Amino acid sequence: MKKFVNDPKQFVPEMLHGLARANPGTIKYVPAYNLIMRTDAPNDAKVSIIQGSGSGHEPAHVMAVGRGMLDAACPGDVFSAPPVDYISETTKLLRSAKGVLYLVNNYTGDRLAFEMAAELSDAEGIKVETLIINDDVAVSDSTYTVGRRGVAGNFFVIKAVGAASEKGADLGQLMTIGKKVNGVTRSMGIALSSCTPPAKGVPLFDIAADEIEIGIGIHGEPGRRRAKIVSATEIVTLLLDAIVPDLPYKAGDKVALMANGLGGTPISELYLLYGLAHDQLEKRGIKIGRSYVGEYCTSLEMAGASLTLMRLDDEIEALLAADAETPIRVF
Amino acid sequence: MKKFVNDPKQFVPEMLHGLARANPGTIKYVPAYNLIMRTDAPNDAKVSIIQGSGSGHEPAHVMAVGRGMLDAACPGDVFSAPPVDYISETTKLLRSAKGVLYLVNNYTGDRLAFEMAAELSDAEGIKVETLIINDDVAVSDSTYTVGRRGVAGNFFVIKAVGAASEKGADLGQLMTIGKKVNGVTRSMGIALSSCTPPAKGVPLFDIAADEIEIGIGIHGEPGRRRAKIVSATEIVTLLLDAIVPDLPYKAGDKVALMANGLGGTPISELYLLYGLAHDQLEKRGIKIGRSYVGEYCTSLEMAGASLTLMRLDDEIEALLAADAETPIRVF
């Protein structure tokens, strides 16, 4: 296994330690519950927003903690849901008079853990609401989900509810905004390679030197089909042919367009894909209002990419344009 | 070859097209000379700063164009110096009453191209100065250089002279600042894998499944030695053991610390390395004043990382802290 790693069991804690060391003053690492939180949270004037999931998808979600984004993140081990008691302890630490919002990508393990944590929090008298994100059009059920998976489109939800919560929106308003954003967001990805979880030590799946997995899941779970690799233009076409009709996005719509890297694909290739997707959407009569290119939700060092579209309106655009400060450049 | 690519010859133009599409209003792509420039450049109230090099190192340098950083970048083909006439035409487009500063990483091909372009610009009556960057401690001469190579530390030079030029510094002052920053900056990198230039179609070099290349060059050129892979802690130690005594950085010094990814290494591993390096430097009595984790200078999809240290003083810290706006998050 070729990775920068010490003891694989310490991979996540050592990453979180580094994250906190690189961002003193804005971010705090609490090793006892393996959580990352804003140093200035909680704040009774705003709802606390918490996201959790397995690790290995960085920058999601631990590097999305900061002003205008998440108040805390509960990472599990690589590709494993966070423990219920850690979520529960995080919720206690982030308790706010305005309540706590859980953002959960739709994976069965994560949903169960957050449901149980919500019950524990309720017993503590903490007001909690949970918003499920499911932007991946690739498959309707999957290895780890009933219903669609949540992938990189998740970042638009974080950004929108994060901005609204900074302005004092209450829990009900945040749920409305989050559901609205999730409802107009669609994604699909393609893998060129597999990836190796540190504790596993071998690749998650095999893929031939000339093959791609269309509709890949972010834990290496199967998508729609295997195919021979084709040109970047053809890849963009087949992703947009899956994404655009799904909502559908129509001629005259204005959208945000994201080209997300899965971890091992260089930024040069992501910009190349972005440019092709931008041009193809314009030819379909769809206007690009905002552009996002980089890594937002990854699968360790997997080579691959996903495209996400979100339909914009004035309310959403204002929330996306609001100032934010996290370890990654978000918007 | 598994890449998001159409015709390999169009890899760089298609990437630049995407970059401009994603950053309308701030960045312009001029296909005739394959250059990226600020939409608001040139400006006679500031020196125009231009950097060029082979492509394949993104975000260096085309994604470092913007307010407070570069005014333009001249990329060549992947791992090839930009053509002299393109540099010359870029210089004409960026002509400013205050002059033009070339930033050149120390590779023989790039130096020759920029020297010839400087002569052509001189004949046009354009005032040009050239600053050479050579922060890589790995080898004293290399496949492509007489003297040390320029690598990720280059970003500190761009940021410092970019900030100073926004405040109206003249060409002489920028040369002084740039030389000072380069003089206190040292880097070294390690590769875990090779990489494949699109037009070549095969990996640049072979490396065994349990081997690393210590002191790798950003074009895959050899470093100090091959070794069996070791733990992340041992890798950080051997990098710092090469970097720290070189300047030397001493107990009591305050530094900026950068963990740079070479293209195929996920951000999780970079933060893990960063945290280990931060701790080791503190143990050596060196204080970390500013932290940088991400991709700054890459080798396509190569798995690997480099560490860079820069000794800080009040002048440099203020320049690093100044506001800037480019496609990548810089500082």
Residue B239 lies in a domain: yes
Of B193, B272, B294, the CB nearest to A4: B272
Tell me what the mean pLDDT of segment A80-103 comes to: 98
Of B23, B24, B300, the CB nearest to A266: B300
B20: chain A residues, CB-CB within 8 Å: 275
* Boundary (domain end) residue, out of B183, B203, B230: B183
Residue A57 lies in a domain: yes
Do A233 and A147 lie in one domain? The reply is no
At residue B145, the pLDDT reads 82
Do B107 and B237 lie in one domain? The reply is no
Of B18, B193, B229, the CB nearest to A271: B18
Contacts for B68 with CB less than 8 Å, ≥ 6 apart: B159, B162, B163, B166, B322, B323, B324, B325, B326
At residue B15, the pLDDT reads 98
Contact A264 B268 (CB under 8 A): no
Contact B268 A21 (CB under 8 A): no
Contacts for B108 with CB less than 8 Å, ≥ 6 apart: B144, B145, B146
- Residues B135-164: pLDDT tens digits? 999 998 888 888 999 999 999 999 999 999
Active-site residue, from A17, A57, A61, A278:
A57
- Asked if residues A5 and A15 have their Cβ atoms less than 8 Å apart, the reply is no
Nearest to B89 by CA among B53, B37, B47, B132: B37
At residue A265, the pLDDT reads 98
Nearest to A160 by CA among A57, A256, A248: A256
- Asked if residues B139 and B223 have their Cβ atoms less than 8 Å apart, the reply is yes
Tell me what the mean pLDDT of segment B88-116 comes to: 97
Do A41 and A56 lie in one domain? The reply is yes
Contact B3 A328 (CB under 8 A): no
Do B301 and B271 lie in one domain? The reply is yes
B216: chain A residues, CB-CB within 8 Å: none
Contact B5 A231 (CB under 8 A): yes
Distance from CA of A228 to the nearest CA of B (A): 10
* Boundary (domain end) residue, out of B183, B211, B228: B183
A276: chain B residues, CB-CB within 8 Å: 14, 18
Question: What is the Cα–Cα distance from B181 to B185, expressed in whole angstroms?
Answer: 6
Contacts 24+ apart (CB under 8 A), A109-116: A109/A54, A109/A80, A109/A81, A109/A144, A110/A52, A110/A53, A110/A54, A110/A81, A110/A82, A112/A81, A113/A52, A113/A81, A113/A82, A113/A83, A113/A84, A113/A87, A114/A52, A114/A87, A116/A84
Tokens of A202: 């071998």
At residue A328, the pLDDT reads 82
Do B193 and B174 lie in one domain? The reply is no
Tell me what the mean pLDDT of segment A297-313 comes to: 98
Residue B331 lies in a domain: no
B193: chain A residues, CB-CB within 8 Å: 2
A300: chain B residues, CB-CB within 8 Å: 266, 268
Which domain CATH number covers A230?
3.30.1180.20
- Asked if residues A59 and A329 have their Cβ atoms less than 8 Å apart, the reply is no
Contact A303 B231 (CB under 8 A): no
Active centre residues of B (catalytic): 57, 219
Residue B2 lies in a domain: no
Residue A3 lies in a domain: no
- Asked if residues B117 and B88 have their Cβ atoms less than 8 Å apart, the reply is yes
Q: Hey, of A10, A14, A27, A272, which one would you mutate to test binding to chain B, going by the most B CBs within 10 A of its CB?
A: A272
B15: chain A residues, CB-CB within 8 Å: 268-269, 271-272, 275
At residue B330, the pLDDT reads 61
Tell me what the mean pLDDT of segment A293-311 comes to: 97
CA nearest to B262 within chain A: A266
At residue A87, the pLDDT reads 98
Contact A266 B15 (CB under 8 A): no
Do B160 and B256 lie in one domain? The reply is no
B227: chain A residues, CB-CB within 8 Å: none
Distance from CA of B301 to the nearest CA of A (A): 5
Residue A329 lies in a domain: no
Of A193, A210, A269, the CB nearest to B4: A269
Which domain CATH number covers A164?
3.40.50.10440
Do B156 and B74 lie in one domain? The reply is yes
Which residues on adjacent β-strands are paired with residue A24?
A: none
Confidence of residue A143 (pLDDT cuts 50, 70, 90): confident
Summary mean pLDDT of chain A: 96
Contact B272 A15 (CB under 8 A): yes
Q: How far apart are the first and last CA of chain B?
A: 34
Nearest to A190 by CA among A206, A173, A211: A211
Of A22, A192, A266, the CB nearest to B263: A266
Contact B291 A58 (CB under 8 A): no
B232: chain A residues, CB-CB within 8 Å: 4-6, 14
Query: Does the structure show a pLDDT above 70 at A330?
Result: no
Contact B15 A263 (CB under 8 A): no
Query: Does the structure show a pLDDT above 60 at A331?
Result: no
Q: In what order do the strands lie in the sheet containing B254-261? A: B225-228, B211-214, B185-191, B304-311, B254-261, B287-294
Burial per residue of B36-67, b for 16 or more beta-carbon CB atoms within 10 angstroms, e otherwise: bbbeebbbeebbbbbbbbbbbbbbbbbbbbbb
Tell me what the mean pLDDT of segment A153-172 comes to: 98
Query: Does the structure show a pLDDT above 60 at B331?
Result: no
Contact B293 A22 (CB under 8 A): yes
* Boundary (domain end) residue, out of B183, B218, B242: B183
Active-site residue, from A17, A61, A219, A278:
A219
Of B14, B233, B329, the CB nearest to A329: B329
A232: chain B residues, CB-CB within 8 Å: 4-6, 14
Do A222 and A173 lie in one domain? The reply is no
Q: Work out the percent of chain A whose per-residue pLDDT is above 70.
A: 99
At residue B141, the pLDDT reads 83
Do B13 and B115 lie in one domain? The reply is yes
Do B164 and B239 lie in one domain? The reply is no
Confidence of residue A1 (pLDDT cuts 50, 70, 90): confident
Contact B59 A267 (CB under 8 A): yes
Do A284 and A159 lie in one domain? The reply is no
Q: What is the pTM of this model?
A: 0.97
Contact A193 B2 (CB under 8 A): yes
Distance from CA of A264 to the nearest CA of B (A): 4
Summary mean pLDDT of chain B: 96
Query: Does the structure show a pLDDT above 60 at A314?
Result: yes
Distance from CA of B29 to the nearest CA of A (A): 12
Q: Hey, of A61, A271, A288, which one would you mutate to test binding to chain B, going by the most B CBs within 10 A of its CB?
A: A271
Domain that holds residue B267: 185-317
Count: domains in chain B: 2
Q: Work out the percent of chain B whose per-residue pLDDT is above 70.
A: 99
Residue A328 lies in a domain: no
Mode of pairing for the β-strands spanning B128-133 and B100-105: parallel
Question: What is the Cα–Cα distance from B160 to B181, expressed in whole angstroms?
Answer: 8
At residue B176, the pLDDT reads 98
Do B207 and B173 lie in one domain? The reply is no
Residue B97 lies in a domain: yes
Tell me what the mean pLDDT of segment B119-139 comes to: 96
